[in-house]
Every structure is written in C-alpha cells, then in structure tokens.
Amino acid sequence: METHTATVTFDPAKTTAEALATAVTNVGYPAKVLKNGG
C-alpha cells in the first residue's frame, strides 16, 4: 500500500478496533487505531 493505511469495516458486536489492531500487529504489520478523521 502506498499510503500505509487501510480502512476496515467490522461488527462491533463481535470485536473492537483495538482488538483488530492488536491481531494485525501480532502477525507482523504494526497497526494503530485512528480516530474519525484520521
């Protein structure tokens, strides 16, 4: 990815943005949650 960003849509009844960021980081792609508006 040129911008090093991704937009992810998820079901908040099943997970959280923080949990997704942790999972992505754990497989080798450092991730953080950006608040609305980046």
Residues 16, 22: Cα–Cα separation, whole Å: 10
Question: Distance between CA atoms of 26 and 38, rounded to whole angstroms?
Answer: 22
Largest pairwise CA distance in the chain: 31
Q: What is the pLDDT of residues 1-38, one digit of tens each?
A: 477 888 999 999 999 999 999 999 999 999 999 987 55
pLDDT digits (tens, 9 = 90+) for 18-28: 999 999 999 99
Cα–Cα distance, 11 to 3 (Å, whole number): 25
The SS3 assignment for 6 reads coil
